[in-house]
Amino acid sequence: MADVVISAQVVGVKEMFALLKTTDKKLVRQTQAAMRTAASPLVAQARSITPAVAPLSGWAHNGRVGWKQSDVMSGLKVSIGGARVGTTWPLLRLVQKSAAGQIYDLAGRGNYTGRESKSKPYSGRPNGHRLNGQGQAMVANLPNLGYIKGSKYSRVVFPAFVASRRDVTAALLKALDKVAADMNHEIERI
């Protein structure tokens, strides 16, 4: 059976939030909480794909980019809204705020041109440093986890989206319908 892509376009949400922010801030907070609750399967799926231990042997350290399971798991967050994409605004975004989680999710997914790798130039070394190949070795050794083997997008966030998009879309539309019904009920009372 072919996989069916579910796409939902909800019109007027941005305007609804703008109106609610001026009239009923409590309802804005309740709406955002309902949206985050609707997205909980997405976060749970992303956490289940994320490795429990450091994916590479030298990654388990206490530095800023060190693999610390609690930081990587708590770094997965749902963000409401976001920057415009074309002519539409996203309702939800799943973001990884942990540096180690971001590296694991996206390392090696860029467009490699085959050039010799160098660090960025700076005032003390205008030509930069030649790198020793550790970055390419890390990318080559990172396991290719997730439901989409070899995905050019990411190792965690995109496969989590693909696996949970139907449930999240349905729950999100249900939450928005409830908010719209609550707003209409409040308007009728006035």
Share of the chain above pLDDT 70, in %: 79
Is 39 among the domain residues? Answer: yes
- pLDDT for 143-184, tens place per residue? 655 555 556 678 888 888 888 999 999 998 898 888 888 878
Three-state DSSP state, 108: coil
DSSP 56-78: SGGG-SSSTTS--HHHHHHTEEE
Q: Which of 4-18, 69-83, 84-98, 176-190 has the lowest mean pLDDT?
A: 4-18
- pLDDT for 23-68, tens place per residue? 778 888 888 898 899 999 999 999 998 888 888 888 888 888 889 9
Is 8 among the domain residues? Answer: no
| pLDDT of res. 145 | 53
Q: Which of 24-33, 71-80, 97-106 has the lowest mean pLDDT?
A: 24-33
| pLDDT of res. 2 | 35
Is 1 among the domain residues? Answer: no
Tokens 């550790």, residue located: 134
Alpha carbon of residue 1 to chain centroid: 28
Structure tokens at 12: 């007027």
CA distances from 129 to 83, 103, 132 (A): 35, 21, 9
**Residue 16 reports pLDDT greater than 60:** yes
The vertex-47 CA angle with 44 and 52, nearest 5°, equals 145
Domain tally, the chain: 1
The average confidence (pLDDT) of the chain is 79
Is 45 among the domain residues? Answer: yes
Domain hosting residue 174, numbered range: 13-189
Is 63 among the domain residues? Answer: yes
Is 5 among the domain residues? Answer: no
The 8-class DSSP code of residue 152 comes to: S
